[in-house]
Chain A
Amino acid sequence: MTKNQVNQHMMALNGDEAIAYAAKQSDVDVVAAYPITPQTIIVEKFSEYVANGEVQTEFICTESEHSAMAACIAASATGARTFTASASAGLALMHEMLFVCSGCRTPVVMAVANRALSAPLNIHGDQSDSMAQRDSGWIQIYVENSQEAYDSILQAFRIAEDTGVLLPIMVGLDGFTLSHSLENVKTLDDEVVKEFVKVRQLPEVLTHEGKMAPFRLDPANPMTMGPVAFPNYYFEFKRQQDEAMHNALDLIQKINDEYSKLTGRSYGNGLIERYQLDDAEVAVVCVGSTSGTLKTIVDELRHEGHKVGLLRLRTFRPLPVEALRSALENVKAIAVMDKSMSFGGNGGAVYHEVRHALYDAKSHPQVINYIYGLGGRDHSPHELRRIYEDLLRLLKTGTVEKHLNYLGLRE
């Protein structure tokens, strides 16, 4: 701990509990949520805080995730700091409202305990749910462990509510792998969190009465929110959302730096985390908790003399195209891991986007895809090591056997 860093307290928390604790410390005004595995611990824990008077929060136990998101949007539009959590089918049910949320510029923070989508029904972890929402206008951060889940929720309020961004944000943590696994998590004092997350600030906007007023539903300053926009205006609304995403790219890095000074913890530059990448000839790109296992494998292979590395993509939306390109352009062979499918898309979403980011790289590295872990399918260190071995073989032969590979699948 350096001189300027704050006191921290070690707590034994699983990922869900870490998130509930962070939301509690962030002095959330409204939580509207509906239970779903593996997110349920978050709402259960938060309900305990409410029942014991530990938070000043209105908790709305809605009758569906659709209504949960609708209530969140409305609460946020009223000016409240708003939080929710969901997963899988629940997130899918919210789909319509996720677009409304980003379009209304209501900065709701949501934890997503990533889980497979039906059918067949499966409660276990993969990233199909939030990957399917990648174009819903939400910022997406995926965490590696419970510590990062805690830290990222605190950061999420700062990012989402920033008046230059004003976009909703989802923090994804792998279902069960993180949501239900107990870890040592360093937490901050309530006062420190309070100072870091601050009170939600509202931008001043021009109302139809020609006055400048805080952007919220306020009888003193009436404004019409969620209007109809026809072809003559709709496009500009959407362009502004994309501009806000661009602003988030800088802000996420800034908040990561600020948090690092406060706690000593940072996650790469906030967008991507480079692990042994500087001189790497081959590398894996991964999103989420599997990155932890991959780091061990990188260490192993480095010890054996192989120039291998890892890039953990932390922020998937906005996609850090430049950061990805500069981090990977000198790598010769890259395996991108996808914990979800894009059926008929010839590879997963992360694969598509990493390849897109590398299109302008002069070096033109080979990029292959590994689909893994669907429906909670285990991926052992032994199997993960084989990805690097495949890459090293590819490096030697120069030929790609298969672009699309499935890890641990019976065929």
Chain B
Amino acid sequence: MTSTNQEWKFTTKDIAEKPDLFLSGHRACAGCGPASVLRLIMKATRGPTIVTEATGCMEVVSSIYPYTSWALPWLHTAFETAAANASGIEAALKVMRKKGKVKDEHVDVIALAGDGGTYDIGLQALSGAVERGHDFLFVLYDNEGYMNTGIQRSGGTPKGAATTTTPAGTVIPGKLEAKKPITEIMMAHEMPYVATASAYYWRDLLTKVRKGLEAEGPAFLHVFAPCPRGWRTDPAKTMEYAKLAVESCVFPVWEAVNGKRQLSVPSKLIALAPKKKKTVGEYLKGQGRYRHLFTPQNQKLLDEMQRTTDERWEQLLKKCEPV
């Protein structure tokens, strides 16, 4: 399996001129990070494409019968099945093309899932589909919780965050466990393309979608997508948080082509000029889900989060090609 190294230069003009494939009129909340991400992702498609999506916020807001936001063929079956569906679609297209039952053209397959449908309930199907080598792009839009069911913890919820199943109580200060290193798990699958991206850095995001589609075999894209409702943040500041997460190295952006990992520009700039790195506190501030951390008794938790973020960043730098 090979991956392309071609650098895509998406411009604002490209985006403006390409018709939307994820259409307006959907019922996402104001300031929804994932909705912006989906719209952008669909701008990076390169030709005939079929999308399959796990149950979740984006599925629910976009397909309320008899309406749809999807201008391309789209299938939803269940919460844990995005990758398994992609397997079925890809296999069907392959054999039907061979038999002349469908048009002789390549069709890209994109599987979409939130953090619940990826880190947790969908992990087995994802791992299986990647191991089998199906040619598809799996996009994880990570808003760090089960937001569709009312903000519960997921394997992608960071330590310290308050959710409705990890409330900030008088004894327990939010989620006690760390965010699962999902991209490291995917890297361990030795797949052709793994990348992280943030909703804020749209050009980087689009480029990675395109490269993921061009990779022959499975590709995994982890997109950081803030949720104002779940994070208790100002809907106007969604992109700001998407930027701060990268700037504070809480969510560095990078890509790995055939296992060779390198930082992407926004994170590379921080690696080159460490003084630009913002503190974890700057990122957490203003997020209602972390409000309880900004108290004297929880100061040690904040300090610990800064320490683990720094450690992870250092580890990542070692895993990446020299900048």
Contact = CB atoms under 8 A, between A and B. Distances in A.
A32 B88 CA distance: 8
B19 interface: no
B72 interface: yes
A57 interface: yes
Contacts of B70: 222, 224
Interface in B229-283: none
B101 A219 contact: no
A222 B84 contact: no
Contacts of A228: 59-60, 63-65
A245 interface: no
Contacts of A218: 73, 102
A97 B77 contact: yes
Contacts of A104: 77
B128 A75 contact: no
Interface in B78-122: 78, 80-81, 83-89, 91-96, 98-99, 101-103, 107
A220 interface: yes
A217 interface: yes
Nearest to B134: A60
A30 B77 contact: no
Given A56-B95, A60-B132, A63-B125, A222 B87 contact: no
Contacts of B63: 224, 226-228
Contacts of A79: 92, 96, 101-102
B49 interface: yes
B99 A226 contact: no
Interface string A204-217: 00001000000001
Contacts of A78: 50, 88-89, 92-93, 96
Nearest to B71: A222
Interface residues of A, number: 47
B127 interface: yes
Given A70-B84, A224-B68, A64 B77 contact: no
B113 to A, nearest CB: 12
B132 A61 contact: yes
B124 interface: yes
B74 interface: yes
B76 interface: yes
Contact of A64 (B65, B124, B131): B124
Interface residues of B, number: 48
A99 to B, nearest CB: 9
A219 B107 contact: yes
B95 A224 contact: no
Interface in A82-99: 82, 96-97
Given A29-B101, A70-B77, A74-B89, A217 B50 contact: yes
A64 B83 CA distance: 12
Contacts of A63: 124-125, 127-128, 131
B81 A66 contact: yes
A219 B73 contact: yes
B74 A73 contact: no
Contacts, number: 163
Contacts of A224: 63, 68, 70, 74
B77 A74 contact: yes
A89 to B, nearest CB: 15
Given A225-B76, A226-B76, A67 B124 contact: yes
Given A222-B71, A226-B76, A66 B84 contact: yes
A233 interface: yes
Nearest to A96: B78
A63 B89 CA distance: 16
A384 B67 CA distance: 57
Given A66-B80, A228-B63, A32 B125 contact: no
B87 A74 contact: yes
B150 interface: no
Contacts of B64: 227-230
Residue of B83, B92, B99 most packed against chain A (CB within 10 A)? B92
Given A60-B132, A64-B128, A66-B125, A219 B87 contact: no
A324 B91 CA distance: 42
A72 B128 contact: no
B68 A80 contact: no
A97 B78 contact: yes
A180 to B, nearest CB: 28
A78 B50 CA distance: 9
Contacts of B143: none
Contacts of A73: 77, 85, 88
A80 B60 contact: no
A136 to B, nearest CB: 14
B65 A222 contact: no
Interface in A244-286: none
Contact of B91 (A60, A226, A233): A60
B322 interface: no
Contact of A226 (B77, B92, B132): B77
Contacts of B50: 78, 217, 219
Contacts of A131: none
Interface string A365-386: 0000000000000000000000
Contacts of B181: none
Contacts of A56: 95, 98-99
A72 B88 CA distance: 6
B98 to A, nearest CB: 6
Output the residue of A66, A96, A225 with the most chain B CB within 10 A: A225
Contact of A67 (B68, B103, B128): B128
B65 A97 contact: no
Interface in A105-144: none
Contacts of A32: 87-88, 91
A29 B100 CA distance: 12
Contacts of A97: 77-78, 81
Given A75-B88, A97-B78, 7 more contacts: A29-B92, A60-B91, A74-B92, A78-B88, A78-B92, A80-B91, A229-B64
20 contacts: A29-B95, A29-B96, A32-B91, A60-B132, A63-B125, A64-B124, A67-B124, A70-B81, A74-B92, A76-B88, A76-B92, A77-B88, A79-B101, A79-B102, A80-B95, A208-B68, A217-B74, A218-B73, A222-B72, A227-B76
Interface of B: 48-50, 52, 59-60, 63-66, 68, 70-78, 80-81, 83-89, 91-96, 98-99, 101-103, 107, 124-125, 127-129, 131-132
Interface of A: 29-30, 32, 56-58, 60-64, 66-68, 70-80, 82, 96-97, 100, 104, 199, 208, 217-230, 233
